[in-house]
Amino acid sequence: MATAFIDTPPPSVARRPLTEADAIDIWIMRWLRIRRKDILARYGCDPRRVYEIWEGAKFPASQQRALAVFAERYPTLADRIDFGRHKRIPLRSIDPNQLALFD
């Protein structure tokens, strides 16, 4: 059974802090394009915890370790994956010249 596609987190995973091993698995799931909703369901955590990992605020070395594990597990996919960090897109622009677009 694939544990990435479960509806509720297993009792052993529910409501516990994420570890570095979890962070490595979260990186790999991102690269395999597993939906964020399924990742959150697997770990039973707040979405902000996942974004902290993807932005490098928590477990910054986990991305490099995940690269090595990914290359070992999925050698044929390594050249077709974007291994970049998550880029936050601001919802609002603070540039006052933005209003000039409507003139």
pLDDT tens readout for residues 1-31: 455 555 555 555 556 899 999 999 999 999 9
CA-CA distance, 62 to 56, in Å (whole number)? Answer: 9
pLDDT digits (tens, 9 = 90+) for 41-90: 999 899 999 999 999 999 999 999 999 999 999 999 988 888 887 888 77
* Token pair belonging to 44: 């039973």
User: Token pair of 28, please?
Assistant: 């790999």
**What is the distance between the alpha carbons of residues 40 and 23, in angstroms, rounded to a whole number?**
12
Query: SS3 of 10, please?
Result: coil
How far is residue 21's CA from residue 28's CA, in Å, rounded to a whole number?
11
- Residue 93: phi and psi, rounded to 5, are -90, 140
